[in-house]
Structure 1
Amino acid sequence: MPEDYEFVINGLIAGVIASLACGLGALPLLIPQLKVKDRIHLGYGFAGGLMFAASVYNLLLPAIDQGTSGAMQLWPVSNDLFGLLLGCVFIWMVERYVTPKRLKNSMLLKPFGSRMETLVFVAMFFHSIPEGVAVGVGYGAETHGVEFSGLGFSIALAIAIHNIPEGLAVDLPMRAGGASVWKCFWFAVLTSLPQPLAAVPASMLVWLFEPLMLPLLGFAAGAMMFLVIDELIPEALETGNHTAITWCFMFGFSLMLLVQIVL
């Protein structure tokens, strides 16, 4: 490939590494004392906190940061909120589609396991698309003379690190459903597959993908937040101690917030 397209290869490699980092979230499942199956209600609370914090601080706040003075300040926020509502509608429709009967009869859905495992996988899969676009835009922007050299690498590194706790959020319901740690690893990686796939066209077509970032970020946030409020937390509260679940949610939220601050 010509040197002019080296940034495309770099974006692809960075996306793959960030995707593999998501699988590292399965490592805590190797600790026998966790007994995930017996404490899945706590796992749902913890995963909900991780996902909610990622939605707010990694997906929604960038819209506010991009606001400018005057009337145009509402434009980036409006784009993000539009995407957020679309994400909520999308997950709501997926919830209605993924019935126990369809899970049993569908060859495509059966490998994911239970309904909850399927919904978490779908939400996290679509959450990875704007992250892949961000990596690609970062590498592509370097070819347009951005002041900060290494922008693409910095974005990819940040995404790879915060992919680890997000991978754990994917793995917890799968492990509780009886999946092996190895299967949890690869399914977590699979949820991040859009990152390298989206990074390539985004790096080549920065002018097209950059304006789409805010609606995509909002879409991913809406999908995850809707899932947490409508599925994860109610499911946890049905079988577990409310106070313990609340503490697990706050611990997961705080952990993801710390990751964002460090990065």
Structure 2
Amino acid sequence: MNKILYVTLIATLVCGIGTGFGAVIATLFRKSSSILMSMIMGIAGGIMLSVVTFDLIPEAILMGGMNTTLLGVFIGVAFVVVLDLTLPHTKLMKKYGSTVKTALLLGLGLAAHNFPEGLAIGSGFMGGKALGFELAIVIGLHDIPEGAAVASPLLKSRLSRAKIILLTAMTAVPTSIGAYVGALLGEISSTFITLCLGFAGGTMLYIVCGELIPESKDLFKGIFSTLSIIIGVVIGILITMAM
């Protein structure tokens, strides 16, 4: 098999399984109480907030500098603001409700994040087979809580379990594209990757602060929603340290 296609297939399988498994875990709680749903949303939001703060943004700054990173963040925020203002008026939102909007926004943000992850996997394989597999496995594990984060808002919708898992797994598609590009070109411009990481960070910050955390607080206004966000942040720190 062609090496580039082989790398792309590995990235697709690992990240697709990671996000899909996260969705499966989340769907097991479809009929749970508001307290448990609030905790799931809070933990997912905390993880994403932590990963963006301690992983994405610092990595982007080291790779391409503060100015390029902030440009990417601002572009990402502007992009998701336009989506946030547009999505409530679409037929999809009217049919399935606002929870789909939250999941779609989060899914788009994760898709933007997954592309540079794919670049990392593709470039890693070009540097050595062992390095490529190591990056693929770590990123696949990292995608499990991301998959749960995308699937969690959909649990209140009328979408079937199979559709929720399928839609969540599809957020891994940009990883495949990124892996293909990374393997094809070998070395990607650091400025380009920095913009991608900044863009992903901006979208994730907006979604977590504007959608996931408020949704967690709305589902249950007691102390458990706050504690779950903190737990999520701690888990995100541990994930970042492990990577």
TM-score, length basis structure 2: 0.86
**Residues 104, 178 of structure 1: CA spacing in aligned structure 2 closer, same or farther, 3 A cutoff?**
closer
Identify the range of structure 1 (57-66 vs 125-134) with the bigger mean alpha-carbon deviation.
Answer: 57-66
Q: Contact conserved, 2:22 with 2:144, CA < 8 A, in 1?
A: yes
Q: Contact conserved, 1:88 with 1:219, CA < 8 A, in 2?
A: yes
Partner of 1:163: 143
Candidates 77, 85, 91, aligned match of 1:96: 85
Query: 2:151 is matched by which residue type in structure 1?
Result: D
**Residues 45, 95 of structure 1: CA spacing in aligned structure 2 closer, same or farther, 3 A cutoff?**
same
Point out the structure with max Rg over C-alpha.
Answer: 1
Candidates 191, 196, 205, aligned match of 1:216: 196
Partner of 2:59: 62
Counting aligned pairs with the same residue, the percent is: 24
Q: Contact conserved, 1:36 with 1:43, CA < 8 A, in 2?
A: no
Partner of 2:185: 205
Query: 1:21 is matched by which residue type in structure 2?
Result: G
Alignment gaps of 5+ in structure 2:
none
Aligned residues: 242
Query: 1:181 is matched by which residue type in structure 2?
Result: R
Partner of 1:117: 103
- CA shift for structure 1 position 97: 1.0
**Residues 131, 111 of structure 1: CA spacing in aligned structure 2 closer, same or farther, 3 A cutoff?**
farther
In 1: Cα distance, 2:97 partner to 2:175 partner: 22
Matching of residues 12-31 of structure 1 within 5 Å = 12-17=8-13, 18-29=15-26, 31=28
Partner of 1:181: 161
Coordinate RMSD, CA, aligned: 2.7
Alignment gaps of 5+ in structure 1:
67-74, 143-148
In 1: Cα distance, 2:80 partner to 2:200 partner: 10
Query: 1:93 is matched by which residue type in structure 2?
Result: V
Identify the range of structure 1 (54-63 vs 222-231) with the bigger mean alpha-carbon deviation.
Answer: 54-63
Partner of 1:79: 68
2:49 maps to 1:52: yes
Identify the range of structure 1 (193-202 vs 53-62) with the bigger mean alpha-carbon deviation.
Answer: 53-62
In 1: Cα distance, 2:67 partner to 2:222 partner: 35
Report the secondary structure of 2:24's partner residue.
helix
- CA shift for structure 1 position 215: 1.1
**Residues 180, 209 of structure 1: CA spacing in aligned structure 2 closer, same or farther, 3 A cutoff?**
farther
Q: Contact conserved, 2:39 with 2:216, CA < 8 A, in 1?
A: yes
In 2: Cα distance, 1:98 partner to 1:115 partner: 7
